């Protein structure tokens, strides 16, 4: 597919506007077609205080884009990952029936995300979280939130365990292995493990803030490895995209194996495998992944049918996927949107996913869309003509019995329960509730008619947060972030009562960590 001069001119105009439309200290973007570079561009500053400019050679924290490289290393060292299943079980001795190595790689493990559960164990938001903390939290695992292989749920320690296991089996450090077996093969000379999130080796800094308030260095104190710990420059990522294109016809090629479609245990198509998402962008199917930490956002994708690849890197908190779609829109023509629906007001409200025990918030946006708060980030769904709202694998259908939610990527379908008005706050929700599995405590306090909740455990004592009533005995617990760059979905607290109507337990969960039981102490 060739490009008209007008398309390329529009691409250049959009590129020139990126620093304004996605304002922040600095960034870099690359666009490739047929393995050749159309755009290689960097702007702004890698460090505002020292006035170091952002260049295509600047090291960048790629965060969760690391996962595909971890899986690439695993396939290089162990073409049959099932030989690692015993190593997975050994890291979770309290868990009966651990997931397989492949289920980790495909985010079908059923494990609750450890950056999310760290919050339940009292970790302050900017607290250190190192190797020992990770081993302890993973070792506490005694239950799953679904049977491995049956559903999808994003889980970071899946890839930490895979990286650690491969390194232990090989008798070499993870950073050294991924350098020699993946980066060197792909021609990525400066890509490397940058495990300590406090600083990058070349001094590149991640920032948070806005143009109005100004930008300040983001504070992170996490030690990452195979889950999100790698760093690379724009030129390194260009080399990765060119490697992908040059090996596209090799059935044994690394990216061909990584990007191969996967399935669930029942045979249904899975949208995630080996650290890559199967994505549909402007009607074209491909593979990609994003990454984020406080102060860092990134996104890359490859559309094999068009042989288009793109990388967007920000050292601030703007949305790199939106920027990538802005650029892609000038290269290929996207499909028209679904027909406009009628009034969106019947969609609005708070609902409960009774299977996962978490609140689903729906709100019309006024432009024939519905905004859904459910997972880590809000989702925009397009309204159709037949009481449907659709977007990126999620479908909502309104019927006589309510709203049914279907998420094919998660292998999850459920009839949502519309929540009644909360009513008056019941005083007996006060008290301490303990989760035996995590050794964590949830404290609920009423003060002047307002409810507050706080969590504590082996990682420390977290702050008290205002609770938001959304239904009878159902509350939302705002969490400004986990150890990652954003909250792991909205936390839901459901107080449970016995036959005498006394509160005996609290069920706490979010999309990344569901249905954890806290018994009244």
Task: Reduce the DSSP state of residue 250 to 3 states and report it.
Answer: coil
Please enumerate in sequence order all residues whose Cβ is within 8 A of that of 193, keeping only pairs 6 or more positions apart, or say none.
174, 175, 178, 179, 225, 229, 230, 231
Say what the alpha-carbon torsion angle 62, 66, 69, 70 is, to the nearest 10 degrees: 160
User: Out of 33, 66, 67, 233, which one is annotated catalytic?
Assistant: 67
How many residues are recorded in the chain? Answer: 521
- The DSSP code for 102 is H
- The DSSP code for 427 is G
Distance CA 37, CA 234 (A): 12
> CB–CB of 412/94 below 8 Å?
no
> CB–CB of 77/166 below 8 Å?
yes
User: Out of 64, 309, 364, 456, which one is annotated catalytic?
Assistant: 64
| Beta partners for residue 62, in sequence order | none
Sign of the dihedral defined by the CA atoms of residues 25, 227, 74, 167, in that order: positive
Is 140 designated active site? no
| Beta partners for residue 406, in sequence order | 395, 413
Alpha carbon 484 to chain centroid, angstroms? 9
Distance CA 5, CA 162 (A): 46
Q: How many CB atoms lie within 10 A of CB 497?
A: 13
Distance CA 437, CA 453 (A): 20
Give the largest CA-CA distance in the chain: 74
Is 64 designated active site? yes
Sign of the dihedral defined by the CA atoms of residues 435, 441, 447, 451, in that order: negative
Side-chain-facing half-sphere of 343: CA atoms under 13 Å: 3
Distance CA 331, CA 143 (A): 47
Distance CA 274, CA 284 (A): 21
Residue whose C-alpha is closest to residue 351's, from 343, 342, 366, 363: 363
CA angle 127, 485, 408 (to 5 degrees): 130
Q: Where are the alpha helices (DSSP H) in 98-227?
A: 101-105, 114-120, 131-139, 157-170, 174-178, 184-186
Distance CA 363, CA 478 (A): 18
Residues with a catalytic annotation lie at 64, 67
């Amino acid at each position: 597919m060739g490009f008209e001069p007008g398309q390329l001119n529009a691409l250049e105009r959009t590129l020139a506007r990126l620093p304004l439309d996605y304002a922040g200290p600095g960034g870099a973007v690359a666009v490739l077609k047929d393995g050749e570079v159309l755009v290689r561009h960097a702007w702004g500053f890698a460090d505002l205080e020292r006035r170091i400019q952002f260049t295509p050679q600047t090291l960048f924290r790629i965060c969760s884009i690391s996962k595909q490289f971890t899986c690439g290393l695993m396939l290089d060292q162990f073409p049959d990952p099932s030989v690692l299943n015993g190593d997975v079980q050994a890291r979770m001795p309290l868990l009966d029936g651990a997931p397989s190595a492949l289920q980790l790689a495909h985010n079908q493990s059923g494990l609750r995300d450890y950056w999310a559960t760290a919050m339940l164990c009292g970790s302050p938001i900017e607290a250190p979280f190192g190797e020992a903390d990770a081993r302890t939290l993973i070792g506490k695992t005694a239950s799953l939130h679904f049977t491995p292989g049956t559903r999808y749920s994003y889980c970071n320690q899946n890839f930490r365990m895979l990286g650690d296991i491969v390194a232990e089996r090989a008798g070499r450090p993870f950073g050294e292995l991924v350098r020699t077996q993946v980066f060197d093969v792909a021609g990525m000379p400066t890509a490397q493990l940058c495990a300590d999130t406090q600083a990058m080796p070349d001094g590149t800094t991640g920032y948070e803030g806005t143009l109005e308030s100004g930008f300040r260095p983001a504070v992170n104190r996490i030690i990452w490895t195979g889950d999100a710990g790698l760093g690379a420059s724009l030129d390194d990522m260009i080399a990765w995209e060119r490697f992908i294109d040059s090996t596209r016809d090799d059935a044994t090629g690394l990216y061909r194996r990584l990007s191969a479609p996967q399935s669930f245990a029942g045979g249904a198509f899975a949208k995630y495998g080996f650290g890559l998402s199967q994505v549909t962008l402007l009607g074209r199917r491909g593979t990609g992944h994003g990454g984020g930490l406080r102060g860092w956002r990134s996104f890359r994708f490859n559309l094999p049918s068009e042989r288009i690849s793109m990388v967007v890197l920000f050292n601030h908190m703007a949305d790199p996927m939106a920027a990538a779609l802005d650029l892609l829109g000038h290269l290929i023509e996207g499909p028209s949107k679904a027909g406009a629906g009628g009034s969106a007001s019947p969609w609005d409200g708070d609902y409960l996913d009774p299977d996962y025990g978490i609140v689903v918030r729906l709100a019309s946006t006024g432009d024939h869309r519905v905004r859904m708060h459910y997972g880590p980030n809000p989702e925009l769904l397009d309204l159709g003509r037949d009481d449907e709202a659709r977007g990126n694998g999620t479908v909502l259908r309104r019927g006589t019995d309510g709203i049914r939610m279907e998420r094919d990527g998660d292998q999850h379908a459920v009839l949502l329960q519309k929540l009644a008005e909360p009513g008056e706050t019941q005083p007996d929700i006060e008290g301490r509730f303990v989760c035996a599995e995590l050794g964590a405590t949830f404290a609920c306090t009423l003060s002047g008619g307002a409810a507050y909740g706080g969590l504590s455990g082996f990682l420390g004592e977290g702050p008290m947060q205002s609770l938001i009533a959304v239904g009878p005995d159902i509350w939302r617990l705002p969490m400004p972030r986990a150890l990652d760059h954003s909250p792991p979905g909205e936390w839901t607290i459901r107080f449970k009562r016995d036959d005498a109507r006394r509160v005996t337990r609290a069920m706490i969960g979010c999309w990344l960590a569901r249905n954890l039981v806290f018994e009244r102490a």
